[in-house]
Structure 1
Amino acid sequence: MAEPGPHHPWQTLAESKEEKQPEGGNLRKSPFSLFMNQLQRKKSSEKEGKSQSSLVSRLFKGSKPNPPQSDLKKENSELETTDSQPEMETEAGIKTQTETNSETPNTSEAESQSLGTKTDLGSNSTEVEQFLQKLGKKPNSRSIDLNNCGLTSTDATELVALLPLLPDLEELDVSWNDFIGGALKPILLQIHHVSKLKILRLSNCRLTTDDVLALEEVLNTTPDLEELNLSWNSNVGGNLSQILQGIQEGSKLQILKLMDCNLTAEDAASIGQVLPRMQNLEVFDLSINRNIGCSLSTIVQGLKNTPSLKALELHTCGLTQNSIQILGAAFAHWPELRRLDLSSNKEVEGGFKDSAAHLAHLKHLNVLDLHQCSLSEEDIESLTQVIPLLSSLQELDLSANKKVGSSSENLLSRLRFLPDLATLIINGCALGKDAFTALVESSMYLPSLKILDLSWNKYVGGNLNMLLETLKLSVMLQVLRLRSCSLVTEDLTVLVSVIQIGHLTKLQQLDLSYNDNISDEGWATFSQNVPLLKELTALDISLRPANFRECGLWFEHLLNSLTKLTMLSELGIQRWRIPAPHEDDLEYFNHHHKRSIHFDYGKFQ
């Protein structure tokens, strides 16, 4: 549409007639004539204004353009002054009226542009919504979570086109989509359109080298980035130094996860050099990178500049005795540390002998994971002295450290000084009589206990009655694992008695698997009383892999109990030979009762 000028057809008819007056005509008019002319112009203007509004309405359905109020006000003002000042109507007045009317089309054009912009935004929103709905996700202008959506390279291409339409995006998660490796570089190169991005998760995407190298630009163009997760991408290893070049001084990065990235010693050195730029770092996960233990000193030196560090994850990192000593010397630099995971580092044996005392600096430590660390008797003796000082500890995992169960300086006797302890995992610790007795005595002072895992400790079998008082007092207990504890029928009777009294009402998970010495009578008693655990969601009574056994009459009691266990979603009954009629009962149970229980029973045995 051509831009309207002073003589555009939208001008009023009155103006046209007035401009074409015959030469020599009388320019001075009577007050009555002036009044009639003004009135005529007003009516004409109103009529054409309505016509103009109707046109815009037809072009942009649903919109309601505002009428040009300035024209009407001006004409009303002129009418109000005509009677008192009739001779003030001049050519200048006509020009003013012409300019006023010529503004009307310009206003409409501005409105049209505004409406067009709104239409574009609506269209963009629809495209994003359709893309997310196709993947079973709800639209959100600030967050796109496509974790484990089975994305294809075609989906990745669509996402590339959509990113420029999402300037307010703060979170992008495409983790666990291992078919889009090689298609992510275009996505990463479009990240500059979403400069407000705070969270980027690319875990297990099979990033190619090109994908990985594009991450440097991402870090350069997202100054507000707070979380970066590249875990489970092996090509990050060997290229990390180039990626980290994008991290600027004063970075806002708070969470950096590089789990199982095949990091090299050179990568570890690069991390140590860039860590001083990340003074806001709170969570640092280098787990399952077995080659960084030899360069840990460089990393720890860099971490001394991160006073806000709250979680340090070094699970399976090839740590040694020397590594533990290096870490111990740095604990004083992390006063806010809440979680420390040093698990599955078998070569640290003996490393805590002279370093455990440094743990006392971690006044706010909530989680200490030392499972499968081959702790020596000297390590345990040192830990025994420092454990009572960790009064904020809520989770302790000492699993798969066999010396814990036989140490003369028993660590378990000191657990009573941890009133906030909620999770205690000591499976596979070869508990003997003294260690188990110490545990029983300490456990009665743990009112907050929610998770207790004693699996793979054979001494528990036949001695569960020693835990009777603990089971009665543990009103918060939600998870009880007694897997492969050599339990006998009497042990199950003890457990049933606690349930009958009304304890363990909060229990959600119960693992009694691999206890093959319990009689059919014991299972019958248990099956009849298990409905009293109304919040139970998972139950496992499977047999050991080498054992197969016929189900007794107790199985009917278990089937009847299923209707009352309304929260149950997992039932493990592996290697029990179930009669065909009862197999059918399991097959149709969910359908008839509108439930969704996963029955793990290996029906083809």
Structure 2
Amino acid sequence: MKQNQSFMSWLLLFLHLFLFTSSSSSFNFLCHDDESSALLQFKSSFNITTYSIYCDETASKTATWKNGTDCCLWHGVTCHTISGHVVGLNLICEGIKGEVPIQISHLSKLESLHLSQNDELVWKETTLKRLVQNATNLKELFLEQTDMSSIRPDSIDLIFNQSSSLVTLNLQKTGLSGKLKKSFLCLPNIQELDMSWNNLEGQLPELSCSSTSLRISDFSDCQFNGPIPQSFSNFTHLTSLILSRNNLIGSIPSSLLTLPHLTYLDASYNALSGQIPNVFRKSNRFQKLDLSYNKIGGLLPTSLSNLQKLIFFSLSNNSFSGKIPNVFSGMTKLKEVYLDSNKLEGQIPSSLITLTQLVRLDCSYNKLEGSLLNKFSKFQKLTDMRLNNNLLNGTIPPSLLSLPSLKNLYLTNNRFTGHISAISSYSLKELYLCGNKLEGNIPKSISNLANLSDIDLSSNNLSGVFNFQHFSNLQNLVSLSLSHNSQLSLKFESNVNYNFSQLLDLDLSFMSLTEFPKSSRTFSKLGYLDLSNNKLSGRVPNWLLESVDSLAFLNLSQNFFTSINLISRENDQLLGLDLSYNLLDGDLPVSICNITSLQVLNLAHNKLTGIIPQCLTSFGSLQVLDLQMNRFYGSLPSNFSNDFLHTLNLNDNQLEGHFPKSLSRCEGLEFLNLGSNKIQDNFPDWLQTLQYLTVLVLRDNMLHGIIANLEIKHSFPSLIIFDISNNNFSGPLPKAFLTKFEAMKNDVTESEYMMNSAYIPTLNDNTDSQFVEKPWYYDSMTTVTKGIKITMVKIPTVLVIIDLSRNKFEGEMPNVTGELHALIGLNLSHNRLSGLIPQSMGNLTNLEWLDLSSNMFTGHIPAELTNLGFLAFLNLSNNHLVGEIPQGEQFNTFSNDSYKGNLALCGFPLSKKCGPEQHSPASANNFWNEEKFEFGWKPVAIGYGCGFVIGIGLGYFVFLIGKPRWLVMIFGGQPKRRVNRRRTRVRRTNGLTMNQMVQMS
């Protein structure tokens, strides 16, 4: 009884104290005055800017921060429930602008500080140091995307070292730069450390005195170099290590892969090498392994079978070779396997096809071969399979085309044969079978795949008749390509209203089509239409240019169209129009000026006449105007004013008059071809100021006069092709030009094709429905090689040429010619040049053809010319050369025709023997180490690839001029060089006929 009374007394006392405390709290704030004052001073020191679109916050937290209120009730502020001290401050994504005030260090009881994603919040070194020193209980510090650019890396070491309370430190994207110490940071309790996306230098820090409890470490995108430190293996609790996008070298330490808790390893985008350590058996808790985008080589280790808990496995973009080991049968939890972009060979192992949990499999861009076994039925969860760009053959297994979850199937660029079986994978979105040897009909079952967005069956041997209406059932269809199936016929029914409501990209080129639907309502969103290389004839359908408001690129080249319908209304959507290689005749309708948005207009190789409309040269958006090989006459347009014009090709017309000086306003001009016209004028000196001009062709006109040596500081700095042949120029060779051709002085080590910078938006075959760009137009030109005129539809950037032949130039050949080290071809024939051939010509080691014939050169042939190891064609005929012909190297391959008309020459290959007094100076390099030309496998291999059928033409070209180095560089695997802004970004090369690539006249 007494115990109960005592208990009741204590209970009454507790209730009394509780009521007193509650009553008192209505008058006293929990927050401490000094901390409230510090927070208000912090707020007053910055401004609030517009919130980031990446932030979830809808209102400013600091709007609730008001004097006279309890700071523990302010948004973003957390107080200790008993002491009332501020222990947490969260202003993430607050839009703070200004410098962090020193008063923040007064919050000495802080345990957690979140100021991330305030890009304009600036830290001073003293402020950060004072905060870390005073806040001795600070466990979480998130400063991601704040501005710490003024803080030196060695100061970071001093600021945070011995911060015994820090568990989490995030300094991602803080603008830190400079070199870190090798023994960077000493954090005894650290568990999560993020230094990513900074511009740090030197080697990865050792972290040797930091806590072995470190679980997550991110040093990605920091420019670190050197090897991965062995000390990382000491962090036995490490679950995630991210080292991607650095400059790391060496191999991955084998001890790293013994860490018992490691679930995420990303060392992608580095320069790592060596073999993957063969110690995976000790890492039974591996869940994710990503070593992609390195330069790791060697064979895949067979001990992969020990990773039985692995979920994610990526070795993509490395240099692994050999076979894929058949070790996957025990790895039953694998969901994602990425072995793409290596050098793997052999068949796909059977154990890989038994993984029932597999969701994604990518073995693309290897050398895998053999047939696919019909054992895909276990892949019930597979959504993405990519086996493209291998050497796989046989038929496509029906079980692969009936997987219930399959969304993306990429089998492009293999050697699959046979028919395409019925497809019942109703979840399928992307189907890429391009570049195989598939034959027979397109299965009608394809029309039942309601989710299909992308179909590419191009470059196969498909045949039969397919009703185009079947495709219109696919209401989600975005991209369709059936090109390069010449035996495949499409049936278009006139009484059917096709409805492609989502179609953006349609490629039906190279199909021998004779008809096409005649209604704009068929393609309400069509942006890209390619009907080139077919048998379409008559007038260009009016609705194509008039009624499809979305159409941006229209390619009707290589058909039999005879006329263009008038364009009655303004069109501000069409960006590219290609009607080249047709039978268009008559005047170009002035109504074409209504297409004000044009970037590319290609009407080349037709029979168009009349005067070129002035509007075409004043379009503000026009990048390419190609009217070559027509019958246009009259003067050139006089009102050029377009900074974006990159290519102007009016070659082979009947244009006359003078050069319009307004061309100098086109400051972005890169390609100018006015050859084979009737222009009468002096050389347009003002063209020298065009800094990006790469190709200048004025050949076969009526140009005359002396080319003045004007004192222009940067004269033609980008020029690599200079052809003014077959005119009436006189006086000395333009030495000032030769001196300032800077782009011709640099030796060329890479090659690609010259092309305009206009691109077509198209679906990328390596990502899920992501738009990329593919080239729309390649520059083309006619050049004379080995005395034969050749038209090239693609110009290699290594084709560096000077052709001044068939003029009236006189005087000596300048020594500076020998400084143009990138020259591939030099033609000075049929002029009045005299004096000695400069010895400096021996420096042109890339030269492949040299024509100095029909001049008045005297003296000996310089022995230095034997240094020209790539020289395949030499013509020194009809000069006044004397003495013995040099011997050795390529000179042992030239015939009598190279020297005829030089009566005082002697020695091999001429029948005239040399006497003692006729010997020329000894050859500087007389040994023979160059193989003679043979017609081997390379010309044939050139043509190998999806949709690319010009190999025979190129093979003939190789045979013609003798194994040209520039051609071998393009197709022989050497790296590529970028010239100016012209780049080739082609993933799938559109096919070209031999007549397009090589046209002989």
TM-score, scaled to structure 2 = 0.36
Q: Distance in 1 between matches of 2:190 and 2:644?
A: 59
User: What is the CA–CA distance in structure 1 between the aligned matches of 2:432 and 2:288, rounded to whole Å?
Assistant: 29
Is 1:199–1:228's contact at 8 Å kept on the other side of the alignment? no
Amino acid at match of 1:315: T
**2:685 pairs with 1:587:** no
> 1:182-201 to 2 correspondence within 5 Å?
183=274, 185-186=276-277, 195=286, 197=288, 201=292
Matched-pair contact (CA < 8 Å) for 1:428–1:457 = yes
Could you tell me whether the CA contact under 8 Å between 1:212 and 1:239 is conserved in 2? no
Given candidates 347, 353, 367, the residue that maps to 1:262 is 367
Matched, 1:371 2:458: yes
Unaligned runs of 5+ in 2: 1-107, 109-128, 139-161, 168-185, 205-216, 226-239, 313-332, 577-596, 647-665, 677-682, 695-713, 715-755, 759-777, 780-794, 803-1001
Distance change >3 Å, CA 371–CA 292, structure 1 → 2: same
Aligned to 1:446: 523
1:520–1:554 Cα contact (<8 Å) kept? no
- Structure 1 residues 422 and 121: CA distance shift in structure 2, 3 A: closer
Say yes or no: does 1:504 pair with 2:573. yes
The one of 538, 545, 554 equivalent to 1:480 is 554
Partner of 1:7: none
The whole-number CA distance in structure 2 between the counterparts of 1:338 and 1:292 is 24
Q: Deviations over 1:364-412 (max 9, x none)?
A: 2222222122332xx324x44633433332222121223456x6x4479
- Picking from 539, 544, 554, the partner of 1:463 is 539
2:529 counterpart SS class: strand
Secondary structure of 1:263's partner?
A: strand
Q: Which of 505, 512, 531 matches 1:430?
A: 512
2:387 corresponding residue in structure 1: 286
Indicate whether 1:314 and 2:411 are aligned: yes
Which residue identity does 1:313 align to in structure 2? Y
Amino acid paired to 2:343: S
Cα separation, 1, equivalents of 2:275 and 2:638 = 52
Structure 1, gaps ≥5 residues long? 1-52, 68-108, 592-596
Alignment of 1:10-21 (within 5 A): none
Counterpart Cα distance in 2 of 1:483 and 1:145: 46
- Quickly say closer, same or farther: Cα 1:502–1:514, change in 2 above 3 A: closer
Does the C-alpha gap of structure 1 residues 117 and 312 become closer, same or farther in structure 2, counting only changes over 3 Å? Answer: same
Query: Relative to 1, partners in 2 of residues 1:112 and 1:133: Cα closer, same or farther, differing over 3 Å?
Result: closer
- Whether the 8 Å CA contact 1:312–1:339 is kept in 2: the answer is yes
Quick check: 1:530–1:561 contact (8 Å CA) kept in 2?
A: no
Residue matched to 1:301: 399
- Contact 2:334/2:355, CA 8 A, preserved across alignment: no
Q: Could you report, residue by residue, the CA deviation over 1:306-364 in whole angstroms, capped at 9, with x for unpaired residues?
A: 4110121222333333x413xx1xx22x111112222223341x244xxx222233122
CA distance in 1, matches of 2:557, 2:506: 15
Q: CA RMSD in A?
A: 5.5
Match of 1:62 in 2: 133
Assess, with a 3 A threshold, how the Cα gap between structure 1 residues 212 and 187 changes in structure 2: closer, same or farther.
closer
Q: Distance in 1 between matches of 2:257 and 2:625?
A: 46
State the Cα distance separating 1:526 from its structure 2 match.
5.9
TM-superposed CA distance for 1:447, in Å, is: 0.6
Contact 1:485 1:515 in 2 (8 A): no
Larger Rg: 1
250, 254, 278: which is aligned to 2:357?
250
Aligned to 1:530: 619
Give the Cα–Cα distance (whole angstroms) in 2 for the partners of residues 552 and 213 of structure 1: 74
In 1: Cα distance, 2:548 partner to 2:282 partner = 51
Is 1:380 equivalent to 2:465 in the alignment? yes
More strand by share: 2
Greater fraction helix: 1
Aligned twin of 2:640: 557
Q: 1: CA distance between counterparts of 2:536 and 2:410?
A: 32
Deviation at 1:215, TM superposition (A): 6.0
Q: Per the alignment, in what secondary structure is the counterpart of residue 360 of structure 1?
A: helix
- Residue 343 of structure 2: which of 213, 234, 253 is its match? 234
| Paired residue secondary structure (2:461) | coil
**Matched position secondary structure for 2:409:** strand
Cα distance in 2, alignment partners of residues 265 and 319 from structure 1: 10
Q: Deviations over 1:546-589 (max 9, x none)?
A: x9x999834962745649xxxx9998858665976575454259
Q: 1:111 to 1:459 in 2, by over 3 A?
A: closer
Task: Give the whole-Å Cα distance in 2 for the aligned partners of 1:501 and 1:134.
Answer: 51
Instruction: State the shift of 1:431 in Å.
Output: 3.1
Partner of 2:486: 402
Change (3 A) 1:392 1:248: closer
Distance (whole Å) between structure 2 residues aligned to residue 557 and residue 479 of structure 1: 24
Change (3 A) 1:187 1:194: farther
Asked if 1:339 is matched to 2:426, the reply is: no
Judged with a 3 Å threshold, the aligned counterparts in structure 2 of structure 1 residues 239 and 359 are, in CA distance, closer, same or farther, namely closer
Q: How far apart in 2 are the matches of 1:169 and 1:319? A: 37
Matched, 1:389 2:450: no
Which amino acid counterpart does residue 463 of structure 1 have in structure 2?
R
CA 233–198 in structure 1, closer or farther in 2 if over 3 Å, else same = closer
* Equivalent position to 1:134, from 205, 223, 228: 223
Task: Report how many aligned residue pairs link the two structures.
Answer: 439
Alignment partners' CA distance in 1, 2:627 and 2:258: 49
Aligned in 2, Cα 1:525/1:293: closer, same or farther, shift over 3 Å? farther
Give yes or no for contact 1:335–1:364 (8 Å, CA) kept in 2. Answer: yes
Q: What is aligned with 2:449?
A: 362
TM-score, length-normalised on structure 1?
Answer: 0.56
Distance 1:124 1:158, change over 3 A: farther
Counterpart Cα distance in 2 of 1:487 and 1:198: 57
Instruction: Give the Cα separation in 2 of the matches to 1:283 and 1:130.
Output: 30
Percent identity, please.
Answer: 18
For the 8 Å contact 2:284–2:308, the answer to whether it is kept is no
Kept after mapping to 2: 8 A contact 1:450/1:476: yes
Q: 1:413 to 1:317 in 2, by over 3 A?
A: farther
Letter matched to residue 367 of structure 2: N
In the alignment, is residue 324 of structure 1 matched against residue 449 of structure 2? no
Partner of 1:501, secondary structure, is: coil
- Name the SS of the counterpart of 1:221 in structure 2: coil
Residue 515 (str. 1) matches residue 604 (str. 2) = yes
- Specify the alignment match of 2:499 in structure 1: 417
- Distance in 2, Cα, partners of 1:419 & 1:528: 36
Counterparts of 1:168 and 1:351, CA distance in 2? 48
Counterpart-to-counterpart distance in 2, 1:212 and 1:542: 59
Counterpart position of 2:74: none
Change (3 A) 1:248 1:162: closer
**How far does residue 280 in structure 1 lie from its aligned partner after superposition?**
2.5
Deviation at 1:169, TM superposition (A): 4.8
Q: Distance in 1 between matches of 2:628 and 2:255?
A: 51
Q: CA deviation at 1:425?
A: 0.7
Cα gap change, 1:589 to 1:318, in 2 (>3 Å): closer
Is the partner of 1:424 in helix, strand or coil?
A: strand
